[in-house]
Amino acid sequence: MNDDDHESMLDGLAGADLDGHTIDELSDYLDNGREPLDPDIEASPGCQLALDALLRLRTQTWALLKSEAATHSEQDRSWMHAVLQNISLEAHAGRDIPLRHPDPEVHLRITEGSVRTLIRGVGDSVGGVIVGRVRLDGDVTTLDAPITVAITASAAFGNNLERLSQLIRDRVVAELATHTELNVAAVDVTIIDIHTQRVARPEDS
């Protein structure tokens, strides 16, 4: 699978999600080091998610999955495509999540999309994990209403899945407590795919 193949998997991130920009345009923008600065791209939440997805495709973890997709099965390609489709969905703002303020006349809110993106970033920061889908279940629009965070993920072969899932839960709970006022009743982590951890060779260092 070449660069055109794996970047074509981002076709779902298009149109309104990217505020009129295209994946090819964003890929070129990254290649040029995001210079000259494009204010429209930098101000677009959808473009920022797509840029993040493209960067992930260029990391060692995504290179591993790309290699597996090329040598194993369509199932691996479908997994990556599903991940990127979910990133596209998360580009939408979704529901407004309120924040407390001492002045009753001031109404502060963050978007559901920004919270899902935060959770995805936390999950992806755990070694050997690639988050597939993030969902917030419950009434996030009401302060103190209990909500459940549902996460699906792929894990590298050889990891203790119970320990890995707990690490994701702990980090997600900590980040949400820092950046939101959501009443998180539970974080459900489901590992739905296992990918092979490539052993680093000296020339890879």
pLDDT computed for residue 92 by the predictor: 62
The pLDDT tens digits of the residues spanning 149-200 come to 999 998 888 889 999 999 999 999 999 999 999 999 999 999 988 876 543 3
Distances (CA, A) of 92 to 19, 106, 110, 146: 11, 24, 13, 23
How far is the C-alpha of 82 from the C-alpha of 131, rounded, in Å? 11
pLDDT top residue among 14 and 159: 159
The pLDDT tens digits of the residues spanning 89-143 come to 555 667 889 998 888 888 888 888 888 888 988 888 888 888 888 899 999 999 9
Hey, how many other C-beta atoms are within 10 angstroms of the C-beta on 161?
12
Architecture of domain 93-205: 2-Layer Sandwich (3.30)
Domain with CATH 3.30.70.1350 in the chain: 93-205
Distances (CA, A) of 163 to 114, 152, 160, 191: 27, 15, 5, 12
pLDDT computed for residue 7 by the predictor: 44
What token pair was written down for 198? 């490539």
Phi first, then psi, for residue 87 (nearest 5°) are -60, -40
What sign does the dihedral 49-51-52-56 (CA atoms) show? positive
pLDDT > 70? residue 66: no
The residue-averaged pLDDT of 76-95 equals 62
